[in-house]
């Protein structure tokens, strides 16, 4: 029988003052095969991360990196599909600590490694050595926002404060080997910027998939995979529709999100 995910609470120091923190949760990721440690006051994973881990092709990969890893949802889910060693790069120390606990809870110490790193500084990394790089970057340019979330951790995760789209793509292009793959999840309205930025960094977009909340609604998530030094030519795959008219998960989306869907080569 599975152990029920636990919660714990405590306090941490902020500005010299002891601040009571929200409870740390242990939640099951979709499919109930992985447990993730997270805190609602700092950061919790979103559907986007799981979809990225389900979408990216992992065949043949021996070494992978996940950028802007947050609490590690992408590598945790991706580890179900590949035996590749996965390096999870995250800027925020508290998120790294949560990821480290998730790695231990799931007995993934030999496969997933968390690294507290600013992806704008990759000194010391073996560049061009990764078969696969994934990234769920901040979506919103600060200049386009009328206001940003006052929670610093959530601000860094959602807004381009310490990591722009170009920063993320540049890092992915530097880490991935020639003919290796780089996959991103982002917002559809940024598609033009994404393609232009990828091509500038010699990442050629090859696969594109839009995710719609309902069949009659505009897409609100995009998934894109590029090949380093690849030839031009991109395939737009059938869209993923999250909910049917009754508000239930569509059968196709349920297969993708909870069971992994078809296995991409």
Q: From the DSSP assignment, how many helices (H) and strands (E) are in the chain?
A: 7, 12
CATH for 21-258 is 3.40.50.150
Can you state the angle between helices 165-175 and 191-200, rounded to 10 degrees?
Answer: 40
pLDDT score of 1: 34
Tokens of residue 240, six digits: 């993923």
pLDDT score of 20: 45
Can you state the angle between helices 47-55 and 251-259, rounded to 10 degrees?
Answer: 90
Of 205, 210, 204, nearest in space to 237 by CA: 210
Task: Identify whether the C-beta of residue 7 lies closer than 8 Å to the C-beta of residue 16.
Answer: no
DSSP H helices, 109-220, are 152-158, 165-175, 191-200
Kindly give, in sequence order, each residue whose CB lies less than 8 Å from that of residue 56, ignoring residues fewer than 6 positions away.
78, 132, 134, 181, 183, 225, 264
pLDDT score of 23: 82
pTM as predicted = 0.85
Q: Which long-range contacts (CB under 8 A, 24 or more apart) does 10-18 make?
A: none
Mean pLDDT, 10 residues at a time, the chain of 265 residues: 42 37 84 91 88 96 97 97 97 94 98 95 92 89 57 56 87 98 97 98 99 97 98 97 97 91 52
Domain boundary assignment for the chain: 21-258
Of 196, 236, 195, 197, nearest in space to 219 by CA: 236
Of 206, 200, 141, nearest in space to 173 by CA: 200
Gap between the Cα atoms of 241 and 233, Å rounded:
25
Kindly give, in sequence order, each residue whose CB lies less than 8 Å from that of residue 260, ignoring residues fewer than 6 positions away.
31, 54, 80, 81
DSSP classification of residue 61: -
Q: Tell me if residue 183 falls in helix, strand or coil.
A: strand
What is the phi/psi pair of residue 96, to 5°? -60, -40
């Amino acid at each position: 029988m599975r152990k029920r995910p636990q919660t714990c609470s405590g306090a941490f120091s902020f500005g010299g003052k002891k601040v009571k923190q929200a409870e740390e949760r242990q939640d099951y990721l979709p499919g109930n095969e992985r447990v993730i440690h997270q805190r609602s006051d700092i950061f919790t994973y979103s559907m986007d991360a799981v979809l990225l881990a389900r979408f990216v092709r992992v065949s043949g990969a021996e070494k992978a990196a996940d950028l802007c890893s947050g609490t590690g949802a992408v590598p945790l889910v991706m580890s179900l599909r590949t035996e590749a060693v996965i390096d999870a790069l995250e800027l925020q120390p508290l998120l790294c600590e949560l990821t480290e606990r998730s790695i231990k809870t799931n007995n993934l110490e030999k496969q997933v490694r968390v690294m507290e790193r600013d992806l704008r500084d990759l000194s010391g990394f073996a560049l061009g050595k990764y078969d696969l790089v994934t990234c769920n970057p901040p979506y919103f340019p600060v200049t386009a926002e009328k206001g940003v979330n006052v929670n610093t951790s959530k601000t860094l995760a959602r807004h381009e404060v310490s990591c722009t789209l170009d920063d993320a793509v540049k890092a992915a292009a530097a880490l991935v080997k020639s003919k290796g793959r780089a996959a991103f999840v982002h917002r559809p309205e940024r598609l033009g910027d994404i393609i232009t930025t990828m091509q500038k960094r010699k990442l050629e977009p090859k696969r594109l998939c839009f995710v719609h909340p309902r069949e009659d609604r505009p897409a609100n998530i995009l998934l894109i995979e590029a090949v380093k030094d690849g030839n031009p030519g991109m395939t737009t795959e059938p869209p993923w529709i999250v909910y049917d008219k009754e508000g239930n998960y569509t059968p196709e989306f349920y297969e993708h999100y909870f069971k992994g869907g078809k296995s991409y080569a």
